[in-house]
Amino acid sequence: MNHPLQGYTAEQVRAAERPLLDAGVPLMRRAATALAAELRALARRTVLALVGPGDNGGDALFAVAELAGEGIIVTVVPVADRMHEAAAEAARAAGVRFADAGDAAALAASADAVVDGILGIGSTGPLRGTARATVAALLPALDRESRPVVVAVDLPSGVGADDGTTDGLVLPADLTVTFGAVKAGLLLEPGSRYAGRVVLVDLGLRIEGPPTVVG
């Protein structure tokens, strides 16, 4: 029998991460390794990763670096003016190719999987700027018979982590790999419509307080 998922707020998750981060626990590397494991089952040849400026993008970069090191062809499209530096260096060292946002739609058309590593729980509100334009350009590729699998990192970008709100422009995920605890927005409408199957990666967090929602 499947147990119901329990959803927590971004602040509850961040508070639970702090003591582990202060102790030097490599949470990002653990998250990335778990993400890479999920991607291996979905992508045999090619992966496109959309990468934003924060830790969410760092998770994606470290994960695709593992895949590239195993021979999978990986292309990263940055959608912000900065990236997690150490993760980007690891990706480049593994042979990951970096491309312009304008090429994202064409790259998605031939990819086995698209990784949404644009925004995480540290960002609020809808997609903006280059990230918004890139996601809008990719959506038609998801209407084709031969379509990539979309994997969201922690939660689909543009979905409110605490309340599931969205302005309607979200890259719908087939799979969301979420870390430490399920974010409440993955269980609440309309965000739950974009999450697909939710896989929780246990990072050893001790969440204080009751869940915001049980799904």
Per residue in 176-199, pLDDT tens?
999 999 999 999 999 999 999 999
* Predicted local confidence at residue 190, as pLDDT: 96
CA 197 to chain centre: 13
Strand partners, 177: 153, 199
pLDDT for 34 equals 98
Model pTM score: 0.96
Confidence at residue 22, expressed as pLDDT on a 0 to 100 scale: 97
The predicted pLDDT at position 215 comes to: 75
Q: Which residues of the chain have pLDDT under 50?
A: 1
The answer for residues whose C-beta is within 8 angstroms of residue 64's C-beta and 6 or more apart is: 36, 39, 47, 49, 74, 76, 91, 94, 96, 115
Other Cβ atoms less than 10 A from the Cβ of 144: the count is: 10
Q: Domains in the chain, start-ordered, CATH in brackets?
A: 6-204 (3.40.50.10260)
